[in-house]
């Protein structure tokens, strides 16, 4: 590989000596495409590449290369700033932001007409009044309907900035508007099967509630986040969100809500077979009900309300065998200001537990090795930036390139994709063979980043009419394991071009991951084409969840002949254990035809029936 790199670099030098800038640039870009070489070798290619691009009169491409180099070379950012006069405002803004001139970056973004980006830079510069003015301006032009989600994010940002400026009235009004728009957007996303976007709505709702102090919004957001996670069978994420919701409720003193959440968490953990986690939540529920009772008594509420809470605690403690605590709570009830008959009843009940100890039980929260990073990104900024960029690959790649948190390999690939994007996005109406090939190459380069951020540019590329571009985008989607990828794939399945449909079917078969069950099963239910359903069934056979296993068993029992054949084929090749367990337990209650199919699967997998 290094030999090729040195050869291409020498070829570029020779081209420069004869004044052929195009050949020199092409040779150096080919050398830069060898993204796995060591950094010092890579920089030895980028230095002459930046110079050649500048000599060709392409300052944007030259600056793009300098952005990558600036993180490694002492005077890198100083050199980059020398190119600002010849580039658009958006590139000047990014460069200024990289050297921490956020106010200057905001001015340049505003000059570029990118109001959301300008407002975000104003926030980073602690210019909350300037940011508020920009969010307020944007709020006048972004309405509801199809734009309800983005309108909600704008209102939320306006509320945040108004609060920072001490304008409580505007903060409240914007917060109320954001909640209404989020609920409208969430309903829409769920109606079209984009639950992951609805999930974003509810996460923002949690944040709105926290900022505004409205616990009702926090609770609504968490409850719906948990619902979606459960429906998508992301069980450990769901339990983590139960814990986050519990913590939020306790912090706000909403102990009744916390106790209810703990009960639901215990039932969910029990359904998952996580006995110790279930017991942990039961004990937590009991302790919370006891605290609810004490809270009511301290507030001077009628004793009957506290009585009900203690009885709920008794039931929970009894469920896990903590009979000593049950007895203690009955004694508390006997001493409360209640009717004499009830007090006598509770006194007698407490005597039955004299000398009884709590039974030892295994209680533990969700184990650390099952916890996953559920850090919630600031989508109220990130998603608005994506919306404002309107699917620009050049801008999406710039975000990655200038983010040092990404590995050098990813940033190198983002740089190369951005160079391609300049040519593609600068000639949107060019339908020549060269332009079409460049668009297809861009789709492949974006796929290599394997980041969520490239989905929007790929979606825009897919709106092109050229078959080669559509097929390239669908090929890219095969490598992007996000539920949002199915939005483009499903569009491909509906395309009038059979070649596009075939490539979309290949993408369907490649997109097997745990939370792909919902879009894959929807394709099986809705697609009129047998080979498309077959692709989805083969993918489902590789999704090792009980839900996928039960769905496939249903296909074997009731599906069309072609679907049964595809499911059977996929199950024989699968390595997952869930269907094997289900097949063995269902073998003797199935029809003879299904029994034969199940035995065939088990025999092929080398499992005894």
The pLDDT tens digits for 469-490 are 999 999 999 999 998 999 999 9
Residues 6+ apart with CB under 8 A from 21: 15, 52, 55, 56
- Residue 98 CB: number of other CB atoms within 10 A? 18
Q: What is the pTM of this model?
A: 0.85
Cα–Cα distances in Å, from 105 out to 58, 63, 102? 22, 16, 5
Crossing angle between the packed helical segments 408-425 and 21-32, to the nearest 10 degrees: 140
Determine which of 140-149, 401-410, 578-587 has the lowest per-residue pLDDT on average. Answer: 140-149
Q: What is the pLDDT of residue 390?
A: 94
CA dihedral 44, 49, 55, 61 (to 10 degrees): -140
User: Using only C-alpha atoms, what is the Rg of the chain?
Assistant: 30
Structure-token match 């709920």, residue found: 312
CATH class of 393-604: mainly alpha
Q: Percent of the chain at pLDDT above 90?
A: 79
Mean per-residue pLDDT of the chain: 92
Instruction: Give one DSSP letter per residue of 338-406, joined into a string.
Output: --HHHHHHHHHHHHTTTT--PPP-----S-GGG--------HHHHHHHHHHHTT-HHHHHHHHHT-TTS
Q: What is the pLDDT of residue 359?
A: 85
Residue 7 clears pLDDT 70, i.e. is over it:
yes
Choose among 426, 482, 485, 472: nearest CA to 445: 472
Q: How confident is the model at residue 67 (pLDDT cuts 50, 70, 90)?
A: very high
Residue with more model confidence, 426 or 603:
603
Q: What is the spatial distance between Cα 50 and Cα 130, in angstroms, rounded to a whole number?
A: 36
Report DSSP state, residue 514.
G
| Token digits of residue 341 | 């008959």
Residue 172 clears pLDDT 80, i.e. is over it:
yes
Q: What is the pLDDT of residue 370?
A: 61
Q: What is the pLDDT of residue 504?
A: 98
| Token digits of residue 240 | 């983590």
Q: What is the pLDDT of residue 192?
A: 82
Q: If you average pLDDT over residues 49-62, what whole number do you get? A: 95
Residue 373 clears pLDDT 60, i.e. is over it:
no
pLDDT (tens digit, 9 = 90+) per residue, 525-575? 999 999 999 999 999 999 998 889 999 999 999 999 999 999 999 999 998
Residue 193 clears pLDDT 70, i.e. is over it:
yes
Q: What is the pLDDT of residue 369?
A: 59
Asked if 569 and 536 touch (Cβ cutoff 8 Å), the reply is no
Tell the burial category of 275 from Cβ atoms under 10 Å away from its Cβ (0-12, 13-18, 19+): middle
Q: How confident is the model at residue 1 (pLDDT cuts 50, 70, 90)?
A: low
Q: What is the pLDDT of residue 5?
A: 85
Q: List, as own/partner pairs, every contact residues 406-412 make where C-beta atoms lie below 8 angstroms and the sequence separation is at least 24, other chains included.
A: 408/39, 409/35, 409/36, 410/449, 410/451, 411/68, 412/32, 412/35, 412/42, 412/68
Range among 52-66, 200-214, 365-379 with highest mean pLDDT value = 52-66
Fold: same for 2-87 and 393-604: no
* CATH fold for domain 2-87: 1.25.40
Q: What is the pLDDT of residue 432?
A: 85
pLDDT (tens digit, 9 = 90+) per residue, 493-530? 999 999 999 999 999 999 998 889 989 999 999 999 99
Residue 374 clears pLDDT 60, i.e. is over it:
no
Domain range annotation of the chain = 2-87, 260-371, 393-604
Q: What is the pLDDT of residue 430?
A: 76
Structure-token match 């669908």, residue found: 474
Asked if 385 and 120 touch (Cβ cutoff 8 Å), the reply is yes
pLDDT (tens digit, 9 = 90+) per residue, 402-440? 999 999 999 999 999 999 999 999 787 777 889 999 999
pLDDT (tens digit, 9 = 90+) per residue, 293-314? 999 999 999 999 999 999 999 9
Q: What is the pLDDT of residue 6?
A: 86
């Amino acid at each position: 590989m290094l030999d090729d790199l040195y050869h291409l670099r020498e070829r570029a030098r020779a081209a420069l000596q004869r004044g052929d800038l195009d050949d020199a640039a092409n040779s150096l870009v080919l050398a830069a495409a060898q993204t796995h070489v060591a950094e010092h070798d890579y920089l030895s290619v980028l230095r002459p590449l930046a110079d050649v691009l500048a000599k060709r009169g392409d300052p944007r491409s030259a600056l793009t290369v300098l952005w990558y180099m600036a993180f490694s070379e002492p005077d890198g950012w100083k050199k980059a700033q020398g190119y600002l006069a010849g580039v658009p405002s958006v590139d000047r803004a990014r460069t200024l932001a990289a050297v921490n001139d956020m106010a200057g970056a905001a001015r340049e973004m505003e000059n570029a007409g990118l109001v959301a980006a300008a407002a975000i830079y104003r926030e980073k510069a602690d210019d909350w009044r300037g940011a508020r003015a920009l969010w307020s301006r944007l709020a006048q032009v972004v309405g509801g309907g199809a734009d309800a989600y983005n309108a909600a994010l704008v209102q939320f940002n306006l509320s945040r900035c108004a609060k920072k400026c001490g304008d409580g009235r505007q903060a409240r009004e914007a917060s109320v508007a954001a909640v209404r728009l989020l609920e409208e957007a969430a309903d829409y996303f769920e109606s079209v099967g984009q639950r992951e976007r609805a999930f974003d709505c509810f996460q923002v709702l949690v944040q709105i509630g926290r900022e505004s102090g409205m616990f009702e919004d926090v609770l609504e957001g968490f409850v719906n986040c948990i619902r979606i996670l459960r429906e998508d069978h992301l069980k450990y994420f769901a339990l983590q969100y139960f814990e986050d919701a519990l913590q939020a409720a306790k912090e706000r003193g909403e102990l009744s809500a916390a106790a209810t959440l703990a009960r639901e968490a215990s039932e969910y953990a029990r359904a998952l077979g996580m006995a110790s986690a279930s017991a942990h939540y039961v004990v937590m529920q009991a302790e919370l009900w006891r605290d609810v009772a004490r809270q009511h008594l301290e507030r001077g509420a009628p004793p009957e309300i506290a009585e009900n809470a203690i009885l709920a605690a008794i039931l929970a403690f009894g469920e896990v065998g903590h009979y000593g605590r049950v007895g203690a709570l009955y004694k508390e009830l006997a001493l409360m200001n209640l009717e004499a008959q009830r007090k006598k009843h509770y006194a007698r009940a407490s005597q039955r537990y004299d000398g009884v100890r709590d039974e030892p039980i295994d209680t533990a929260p969700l184990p650390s090795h099952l916890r996953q990073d559920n850090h919630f990104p600031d989508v109220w900024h990130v998603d608005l930036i994506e919306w404002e960029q309107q699917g620009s690959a050049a801008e999406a790649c710039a975000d990655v390139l200038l983010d040092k948190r990404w590995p050098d390999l990813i940033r190198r690939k983002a740089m190369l994709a951005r160079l391609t994007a300049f040519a593609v996005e600068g000639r949107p109406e060019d339908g020549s063979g060269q332009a079409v090939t460049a668009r297809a190459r861009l789709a492949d380069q974006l796929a290599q980043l394997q980041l969520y951020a490239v989905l929007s540019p790929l979606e825009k590329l897919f709106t092109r009419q050229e078959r080669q571009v559509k097929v390239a985008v669908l090929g890219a989607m095969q490598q992007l394991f996000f539920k949002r990828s199915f939005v483009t794939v499903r569009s491909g399945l509906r395309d009038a071009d059979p070649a596009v449909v075939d490539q979309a079917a290949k993408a369907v078969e490649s997109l097997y991951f745990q939370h792909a069950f919902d879009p894959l099963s929807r394709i099986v239910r809705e697609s009129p084409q047998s080979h498309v359903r077959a692709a989805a069934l083969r993918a489902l056979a590789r999704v090792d969840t009980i839900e996928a296993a039960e769905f496939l068993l249903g296909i074997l029992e009731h599906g069309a002949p072609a679907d049964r054949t595809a499911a059977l084929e996929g199950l024989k090749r699968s390595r997952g254990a869930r269907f094997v367990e289900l097949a063995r337990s269902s073998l003797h209650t199935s029809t003879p035809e299904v029994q034969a199919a199940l035995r065939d699967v088990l025999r092929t997998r080398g499992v005894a029936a």
